[in-house]
Amino acid sequence: MKVGYVYSPLCLMHSSAGHPEAPQRIEAILQVWQDTGLMEKLVAIEPTPATDEDLLRVHSQKHLNTIESAHRRGGLQIDGDTYMNGYSRQAAYLAAGAAMNAVDAVMTGVVDASFSLMRPPGHHSTRDLAMGFCLFNNIAVAAQHAIEHYNLERVLIMDFDVHHGNGTQDIFYSSPQVFYFSTHRYPFYPGSGHWRDIGADDGAGFNMNVPLPHSVGNEQYARICDDLMYPAMARYQPQLVLVSAGYDAHWADPLGALTLLDATGFAYMTQVLHSIARDYAGGRIALILEGGYNFDALAWSSRASVEALFGSPVEDDPVGAPPREERDISDLIEHLQGVHQLV
């Protein structure tokens, strides 16, 4: 099993004092991966920046113009959550390109699985708008690149960030070529992700939102994977598995609002996603980093995901176990099974 990672120190230059989406996120990941010997098992993949042509597959010219204008002004606060500095444009182009590089590496057999460790993140960015810490929608750029460059017809994007990936949903809402599956707190930022949102036009039925209350943890997430995601993918049979890997659903995350996952829960989800990739997509899976704002939780949870790709057991979380019992969501799972005709 060969697992690759994509990283450039340029992504650390995108920063704003006191902002939770900080360079220390990546530094913490790299430190834990180094200290545990994980890095020695990985294949380094050199990132290359996306081109305007790559970005225009999923974004509008208006959107690119906004980023360019902000860059020329030396960076600015795009909204209350989303910033740019003098390095942000370059970092954003490289983060989008790195997601494509991660896909290329698995599609061409350089590695069996890959993880893009780049920032800024992407899944909130819509066709026309940067928001929610995100400038370009990295995973959407990568998915559309895979569809067009490798003639794929079916790509799974699974998003386990605690915040709904409104941008990814928006971009592919009418397309059957991408099945967007999201687990997220609801109601919560950015306000989207209702279970009724199942896609439109040719994309109807290819969007599954699992809107979760607070206090949902490892056991219930495992049920979502086993009872909803796997059966849906057995029917869809994706040719590539992409993961919006946001680790802010960890119980210790300051922005996660009492979601109770720990590293073992992230490991299990990754195991199921890898099983889907092996069963239907020739083993091809790429993880693209999204959120995660407790640096220790992010580092250990991302490590757990990579160890799961290797098939290594993850039996505990150095950050600690969730502090309370989790909520049962049987009614929600049964309802979604009915909505998506999985029973």
Torsion sign across C-alpha atoms 312, 252, 189, 217: positive
- Band the pLDDT of 83: cuts 50, 70, 90: very high
Residues contacting residue 184 through CB under 8 Å, at least 6 positions apart: 159, 161, 162, 163, 164, 165, 193, 209, 210, 211, 212
Q: For the chain, give the mean pLDDT.
A: 97
The stretch 183-208 carries a mean pLDDT of: 98
Residues contacting residue 161 through CB under 8 Å, at least 6 positions apart: 123, 184, 244, 245, 246, 247, 248, 249, 290, 291
CA distances from 30 to 23, 92, 181, 229 (A): 11, 20, 28, 30
- Band the pLDDT of 235: cuts 50, 70, 90: very high
Third-level CATH fold of 3-339: Arginase; Chain A (3.40.800)
The residue whose two tokens read 């999985």 is 342
Structural domain spans, the chain? 3-339
pLDDT score for 74: 82
| Residue whose C-alpha is closest to residue 164's, from 259, 45, 239, 66 | 259
**Least reliable range by pLDDT among 62-76, 82-96, 178-192, 200-214:** 62-76
d(CA 255, CA 264): 20
| Percentage of the chain lying above the pLDDT 70 cut | 100
Residue type, 122: G
CB distance 261 to 251 below 8 Å: yes
d(CA 95, CA 85): 15
Residue type, 130: A
Q: Is the pLDDT of residue 116 over 80?
A: yes
- Residues identified as active-site: 124
Q: Two tokens at 336?
A: 């979604």
H or E stretch at 93: helix 88-107
Q: Is the pLDDT of residue 67 over 90?
A: yes
Q: Is the pLDDT of residue 226 over 80?
A: yes
Q: What is the 8-class DSSP label of residue 243?
A: E
Q: The whole model's pTM is what?
A: 0.98
The stretch 147-172 carries a mean pLDDT of: 98
| Residue whose C-alpha is closest to residue 276's, from 305, 242, 312, 310 | 242
d(CA 76, CA 303): 33
d(CA 297, CA 317): 8
H or E stretch at 64: helix 61-72
CA distances from 249 to 69, 259, 262, 322 (A): 34, 5, 8, 11
Torsion sign across C-alpha atoms 24, 30, 33, 37: negative
Phi first, then psi, for residue 153 (nearest 5°) are -110, -20
Q: Is the peptide bond before 121 cis (omega within 30 degrees of 0)?
A: no
The tens digit of pLDDT for each residue in 251-296 reads 999 998 778 999 999 999 999 999 999 999 999 999 999 999 999 9
Residue type, 61: Q
pLDDT score for 307: 98
The stretch 25-31 carries a mean pLDDT of: 98
Strand ranges (E), 226-339: 240-245, 285-289
Instruction: Indicate the SS3 state at residue 129.
Output: coil
CB distance 69 to 83 below 8 Å: no
